[in-house]
Structure 1
Amino acid sequence: MTEVGGFELTLWNRTRSRAEEIGVGTVCDTAAKAIEGADVVVTSLFDPTALRQVFLGPDGLVQAADHQVFLETSTAGPDVLTELDETLSLSGSQLIDSPLLGSTGAVLAGSLDIILGCTEAAMESARPVLAALGEARIVGPVGAAARLKLLHNSMLAIVSAATAEMMVAAVAAGIDKSDAFAMLTRISPYMKRREDGFLHEKFDSVSFAMTGVVKDLDLAIDLFHRNGSALPVTALSRELYADAVPKHGHLDMSAVIRRYQN
């Protein structure tokens, strides 16, 4: 291991070069190797399929788990987390459902808002790592934080799509672009974080890619539909992003504005 910020750190990524590009810690060949001797394991993967592959597949995390705490930060829905928690418990390990709320800047500043699905004892076991990342709070058992994260990302997607729609409509109606953005962010101040996209159409600084938005909306729609909720606005937003993905899926979510311009 290599010490980084007071922690002994090892890394693994399904694409090894991405781990190497970070330039910190020791990069391992397998997920199982990376967690040997670790007290706390932090995982971040794209979707439930990736989680099951990395945890349950050959040289996976479950194979090597031994009385460790797993901070699972992916946005993958509650079902897979409950499944993995039950499997990890057989090794004496604990899974903490720990979605991260905040931008890349918040990660670097250690000022993330972290919601947790776990017990108080599990949170205490991971407290040094959580404190380095930001402010953490428990919202319920495993799965509770994952449900809240889907709610959060759904609302973010809806408001972003609405902002894109109104920006294009405003310019078409002869409203100054800067004035339009100022008015819209008066109602939704959070959108100021995507000024580069909505006001200047610069989408390459990606904190939330369009493909990820569609994936999260699919998870949210599945979750809330199963519980009997009607989601016409969410479903329409999902289609707007999906329509833009073939050309712009790798860009920041503010690129949904392209859907209204094409």
Structure 2
Amino acid sequence: MNATSTRLYDPTPSKSVAFLGLGVMGHPMAGHLVSAGHRVTVYNRSAAKAQAFVAEFGSTGRATSAATPREAAAGADIVFCCVGNDNDLRSVVLGANGALAGMKPGAVLVDHTTASADVARELYTAARNLGLQFVDAPVSGGQAGAQNGALTVMCGGDAAAFDAVRPVAMAFSRAFTLMGASGAGQLTKMVNQICIAGLVQGLSEAVAFGQNAGLDMNQVLDVIGKGAAQSWQMDNRGKTMVADRFDFGFAVDWMRKDLGLVLDEAKRNGSRLPVTALVDQFYADVQRMGGHRWDTSSLIKRLK
């Protein structure tokens, strides 16, 4: 049974939507939209992934694919997007075959890519110039959150566009919050990644220290996880770090991309991020160890 089939949905009027990008996040997110009763047209750069999506959800009569972002967006009330980086985002949104070229007046483009605040503002302006709306809406919760429909979504944009999108996006969200004007969603996601970087490094050092001290670290985590040291990272990654398992979760390559965005923004706004900059270099060490696709908790590999 796939993850989307077990989720219960609040009744929301059916919408015609598009979803651009069917990676480890986009595929389950789009699946939740189908399961919630919306008509979903998907596009993916690799057509095989779009075909696989239609094969999985097409029996509902609410899942189809399109050859270009423009075709996918045609007639949609909302166009959702979740791709890799700023350049990937521009490639599916702008240009003759981009989503903006196919969207109907008043439609909303919602971007779930973790990208720069600058590209969010750029696309917001491009959309407004065409009589369209844009919301930057990066997510937190990882692959498991996408599969379980429990993502935390941080949004930037106009309140009217946010209000139009929120009931539909709750198909894959546990929280969908407007943080401010265009770009505020991306800036909030940067705050999130700064927190995670420091937490994972601290947890890595703690687990390695405990193992070197001869402690039963699974028992230690059970005990300290009930106190002030508790965190999502400890609850969900502590014991897999002890077990030396990293073949899942949020990849180191993605984290380095995100931290690059953070450090670039910090230069612009004058923030001092010494720990974040150091952890970014620690992740570079993990990449040199061959851990490009390891989970971010693989920071502990440097300490063993």
- TM-score normalised by L of structure 1: 0.91
User: Distance between the aligned counterparts of 2:104 and 2:75, measured in 1?
Assistant: 9
Aligned-partner Cα distance in 2 for 1:17–1:188: 42
Q: 1:11 to 1:63 in 2, by over 3 A?
A: same
Q: 2:237 aligns with which of 194, 204, 208?
A: 194
Q: Note if contact 2:252-2:294 (Cα within 8 Å) is conserved in structure 1.
A: yes
Quick one: distance in 1 between partners of 2:247 and 2:274? 30
Distance 1:243 1:126, change over 3 A: same
Q: Does 1:254 align with 2:297?
A: yes
Distance 1:90 1:66 in 2: 13
Q: CA deviation at 1:20?
A: 3.0
Distance 2:85 2:224 in 1: 32
CA contact (8 A) 2:221 2:239 kept: no
Report the aligned-residue RMSD.
Answer: 2.1
CA distance in 2, matches of 1:125, 1:231: 36
Q: Distance in 1 between matches of 2:97 and 2:65?
A: 15
**Separation (CA, whole Å) in 2 of partners of 1:184 and 1:8:** 46
Contact persistence 2:75–2:103 (CA under 8 A): no
TM-score, scaled to structure 2 = 0.79
Q: Secondary structure at the match of 1:113?
A: strand
* Alignment deviations for residues 6-38 of structure 1 (CA, whole Å, 9 cap, x no partner): 100111112222333332322222111111111
Q: Percent identity?
A: 29
Unpaired stretches in structure 1, ≥5 consecutive residues? none
Structure 1 CA distance for aligned equivalents of residues 270 and 291 of structure 2: 32
Q: SS where residue 95 of structure 1 aligns?
A: strand
Contact 2:203 2:238 in 1 (8 A): no
8 Å contact kept, 1:111–1:133: yes
CA contact (8 A) 2:76 2:103 kept: no
In structure 1, the partner of 2:28 is: none
Q: Residue 62 of structure 1 contacts residue 88 of structure 1 at CA under 8 Å; is this kept in 2?
A: yes
Identify the residue that residue 107 of structure 1 maps to in structure 2.
146
Match of 2:166 among 117, 127, 146: 127
Aligned residue pair count: 260
Q: Which amino acid aligns with 1:21?
A: A
The AA in structure 2 aligned to 1:4 is V
Larger CA deviation: 153-162 vs 35-44: 153-162
Residues in 2 aligned to 1:102 and 1:211: alpha-carbon distance in whole angstroms: 17
Aligned AA (1:229): S
Contact 1:81–1:142 under 8 Å retained in 2: yes
Query: Distance between the aligned counterparts of 2:285 and 2:171, measured in 1?
Result: 38
Residue deviations 1:150-200, cap 9 Å, x none?
Answer: 110121122112211221222122222213434564403212112453122
